[in-house]
């Protein structure tokens, strides 16, 4: 099983450019999450979804949008990238009783 | 709002010695508690969880954690550390079965020297 797959793994953007990060899970999990990881700050929740067609804001949602059109996919969009969005982004999924499963991360640099 | 505190940025131990990584939490309702480990340039891997029941939880790779409700703590322990345990460890919490948010601590870097 692939588990949780994130694409791309690396990306460099210029300030103002847009991009979409894709997260796909093959475990039929209801809940999916997008986090960003920055040194000394742990993982901060950007947005999450409790099911197909639903999304909600986390701790740091500004500058990001998400969509969950299909249960297995959770997309994170940056409409106008800023250097402050340079980070490592992790997607995770879980069902009700298990711990979350994480993707390998996307390293994004905004110059 | 729920939160997790990992008071130590770094923990250094000698191989073969006991390892403890501290975690305290704040949450409404009954806590669901987790430990994850991250190796360099990798995603997070699940180690163990506490949902209910026995306060001492055993997990992967010989790790265990003790839930202490009165101290709102969930410390990670390993009786005899290995060099291969060197990694970044995260404690996480969510507030019961109806809480969807999973909140993480800032992480503790564990270095085990040979």
pLDDT per residue as tens digits for the range B97-108: 667 788 899 999
The dihedral region occupied by B96, where left means phi > 0, alpha psi between -120 and 50, and beta the remainder, is left
Parallel, antiparallel, or unpaired: how do β-strands B44-50 and B32-38 relate? antiparallel
Looking at residue B97, what is its pLDDT?
Answer: 61
- In this predicted model, which residue has the larger pLDDT, A15 or B42? A15
User: Which chain A residues touch B46 with a CB distance below 8 Å?
Assistant: 98-101
Looking at the predicted structure, is the pLDDT value of residue A1 above 60? Answer: no
- Number of residues in chain A: 111
Asked if B102 lies within 8 A of A45 by C-beta distance, the reply is yes
Mean pLDDT score of chain A, rounded to an integer?
93
Looking at the predicted structure, is the pLDDT value of residue B48 above 70? Answer: yes
Looking at residue B52, what is its pLDDT?
Answer: 84
Looking at the predicted structure, is the pLDDT value of residue A97 above 70? Answer: no
In chain A, % of residues over pLDDT 70: 96
> In 3-state terms, chain A is what percent helix, strand and coil (to 5)?
5, 55, 40
**Contact call for residues A110 and A103 (beta carbons, < 8 A):** no
HSE-CB of B57 using CA atoms within 13 angstroms: 22
User: Which chain B residues touch A43 with a CB distance below 8 Å?
Assistant: 44, 90, 104
Looking at residue A28, what is its pLDDT?
Answer: 93
Q: A29 vs A3, A78, B84, CA distance in Å?
A: 10, 24, 31
């Amino acid at each position: 099983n692939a588990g949780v797959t994130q694409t791309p793994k690396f990306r460099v953007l210029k300030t103002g450019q847009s991009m979409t990060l894709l997260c796909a899970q093959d475990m039929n999990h209801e809940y999916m999450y997008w986090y960003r990881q920055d040194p000394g700050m742990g993982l901060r929740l950007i947005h999450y979804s409790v099911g197909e067609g639903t999304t909600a804001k986390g701790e740091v949602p500004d500058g990001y949008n998400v969509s969950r059109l299909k249960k297995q996919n959770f997309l994170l969009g940056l409409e106008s990238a800023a250097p402050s969005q340079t980070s490592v982004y992790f997607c995770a999924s879980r069902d009700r009783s298990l711990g979350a499963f994480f993707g390998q991360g996307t390293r994004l640099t905004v110059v | 709002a729920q939160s997790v505190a990992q008071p130590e940025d770094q923990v250094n131990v000698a191989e073969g010695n006991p390892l403890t990584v501290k975690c305290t939490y704040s949450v409404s309702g009954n806590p669901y508690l987790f430990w994850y480990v991250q190796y360099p340039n990798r995603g997070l891997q699940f180690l163990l969880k506490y949902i209910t029941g026995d306060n001492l939880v055993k997990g992967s790779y010989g790790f265990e954690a003790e839930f202490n409700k009165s101290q709102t703590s969930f410390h990670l322990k390993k009786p005899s550390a290995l060099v291969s345990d060197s990694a970044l460890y995260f404690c996480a919490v969510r507030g019961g079965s109806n809480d969807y948010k999973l909140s993480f601590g800032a992480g503790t870097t564990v270095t085990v020297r040979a």
